[in-house]
Chain A
Amino acid sequence: MDARAIHEKLVARFEEKVTGAGLEAASPFTVVAADAIAEVAAFCKADPALAFDNLMCLSGVDYPKEAPPRMEVVYHLYSYEHLHTFALKVHVPRENPAVPTVEKTWGVANWHEREAWDLLGIAFTGHSDPRRILLPDDWEGHPLRKDWQDPEYYNGLHVKPTQQMAERALAGEAIGVGPFDFTPPNMHVEEK
């Protein structure tokens, strides 16, 4: 099925829950209301004409400059039976974003959703294992958000260069190990 037919099928089934579409894009997509995504996902997989049995990718994207500011969760679907692809999108607010999980429909979503939580802070309600996945368990914040600032401290260690350190470096003071000396040890000349 082509993208337009898939979109129309979704509109016919879910009516006002389908809130937008981008069928002319390089990877066509349909925008779905956040609270309906689990049902839409189950429908996409179960319907014999769609048969999206494979979730290729689940990504979160942060759009702070859109009006209103939003985050997106993008589901890229693939059907091993019909070999067609499609994408579903969900828009959520940037404050406390929450989307129902689709791990019941596609098992691989479990890890993808953990990653989206870890890096972007999108919570997936009903998730069976809501832990961080790539970053340490005691990490604070979500670095792929566009307004992310590097932390000054991590576990009590100072990890960000301060203004004072920058000034000292600019004044020519050697801080830490650099600047590196690439002269081989046996080639050093004794300073007089």
Chain B
Amino acid sequence: MSGLPADPSGPGRPESLPATAQTGGARRMTDWDPDALDTDEMILQMGPQHPATHGVLRVELRTDGEIVKAARPHIGYLHRCFEKHCENVDYPGVMPYADRMDYCAAMGNTLGFALAVEKLHAIQVSPYVDTVRVIMAELQRIASHILAVGTYTMDIGAFTPFLHLVRDREKILDLFEWTCGARLLYNYNWVGGVSHDLPDGFVKATRDLLREFDAVTFPEFLDLIIHNRIFVKRLSHVGVCSPELAIFHDLTGPNLRGSGVKRDLRKDAPYCGYETYDFDVCVGTGQYGPVGSCFDRNWVRVLEMRESSRILHQALDRLEKMERTDVHEKVPKRVKPPKGEVYFRSEAPRGQLGYYVVSDGNVNPYRVKVKSPCFTAMSAFHHLAKGLMIADIIALIGSLDIVLGEIDR
């Protein structure tokens, strides 16, 4: 591999295969060559338009009957040049683009970017704004996990739980809509504040929601899915990821905790005052099979929803006692951080979301690089998929809870 070789034939290259730049057009003999297949083997393209790949993901499977001998994911179908866009808009202009990365958990994306720029800009927001951000982030976490586990049950063949869960997610989206007018892509967290203050009655409405969540939704969740014998038997031995592999391939969030590693950025590197809340970090225990199975990852997600509910109760209590401040108080007229760079990570619903922001003292970011938790989770996929059945591949992809918008950015 050496640099970009000159291509003599140029763009008008009719019948030859598209030459990859780095190999200089030479086809290498790999596992993926048709000539390298054994007699009973077949290469199967799963996706990109496949309902169970959670977006436009193409997975190349080398199969022997129903057994997957090797898998190779191909991403990039949803690449929208997020990082290039960032260099051409100002800092507040990045927010709507950041929303669109992980469109199932947009609050978490903008929160990470806002905190990164605030660190660069040395802005300290008021405790009121911090509490509002925590409330929004945790509501978003519940909504995101609801969608993750709900669609997961649909992937493995149960349709009813999805309908129940999406009904409950809808109530959270209603709260978001009431607050900032948007249901999915909010542009809510700004550099130095949030876009709208909470409406009057928000605390009561959220309490009503949580009362129902704690008493009805969560127990129903456990009865319908997690303690369901079929669900447990189907998943507790599938897609086992060891803690070493999880750290080696940088699985984060529920995927890492599903492997039994008790690490959560809200505890280890707290932001927004998370250190003052009382909650537990849930980990997979392997009670029905090996630790780190597809079941454990979902188990962690479900338990995390209860912890989010606990955080929300505490945050709402504080909010009632707290004096309201102007949520735009610290929003700079012109976001122009001094020259420098920062790497900031936060615990988004899908794992550690990192922003590497380089500023050259201008109104536009010089460079923004996103460490997406789904991207790194997908990079371990070929390890986990080896030796599974084709039907288990679906279960594995769903349990990693990927959103292609964030992988491809």
Bound-state Cα–Cα, A127 to B12, Å:
30
- Chain B positions 6 through 26: 1 when the CB is less than 8 Å from some CB of chain A, otherwise 0: 010001100000111111000
Assess the A153–B11 pair: CB atoms within 8 A.
Answer: yes
Over the window 265-281 of chain B, the binary record of Cβ atoms lying under 8 Å from chain A Cβ atoms (1 yes, 0 no) is 00011000000000000
A144 at the interface (CB under 8 A from B): yes
CA distance A15 to B81 in the complex (A): 40
In whole angstroms, what is the CA distance A124 to B22 when docked? Answer: 10
On whether the beta carbons of A56 and B343 are closer than 8 Å, the reply is: yes
- Does A69 sit within 8 A of B, measured CB to CB? no
* B119 touches A (CB below 8 Å): yes
Count A-B pairs with CB separation below 8 Å: 122
User: B57 to chain A: closest CB distance in Å?
Assistant: 13
Q: What's the nearest-Cβ distance from chain A to residue B338, in Å?
A: 10
- Cβ contact within 8 Å between A27 and B341: yes
Among A27, A98, A127, max chain B CB count under 10 A is at A27
B252 to chain A, nearest CB (A): 9
CA distance in complex: A54, B408 (Å): 22
> What range describes how many residues of B lie at the interface?
35 or more
Q: Report how far A130 CA is from B26 CA in the complex, Å.
A: 12
Cβ of A133 under 8 Å from chain B = yes
Q: In angstroms, how far is the closest chain A Cβ from the Cβ of B75?
A: 7
The reply to whether A156 and B12 form a contact with Cβ atoms under 8 Å apart is yes
Residues in A whose Cβ lies below 8 Å from that of B409: 134
Count chain A residues whose beta carbon lies closer than 8 angstroms to a beta carbon of B.
Answer: 49
Chain A positions 89 through 130: 1 when the CB is less than 8 Å from some CB of chain B, otherwise 0: 000000010100000001110110000010101011101001
Stretch touching chain A among B44-52, B315-323, B324-332, B367-375? B367-375
Binds A, one of B169-177, B180-188, B243-251: B243-251
Best-buried of B18, B21, B79, B379 by chain A (most CB within 10 Å):
B21
Is there contact, CB below 8 Å, between A55 and B261?
no
Assess whether B76 is in contact with A134, with CB atoms less than 8 Å apart.
Answer: yes
Instruction: Give the interface of B toward A (CB within 8 A).
Output: 1-4, 7, 11-12, 18-23, 75-76, 79, 81, 83-84, 119-120, 245, 247-250, 261, 263, 268-269, 340-343, 345, 352, 354, 356, 358, 366-367, 369, 371, 375-376, 378-380, 408-409
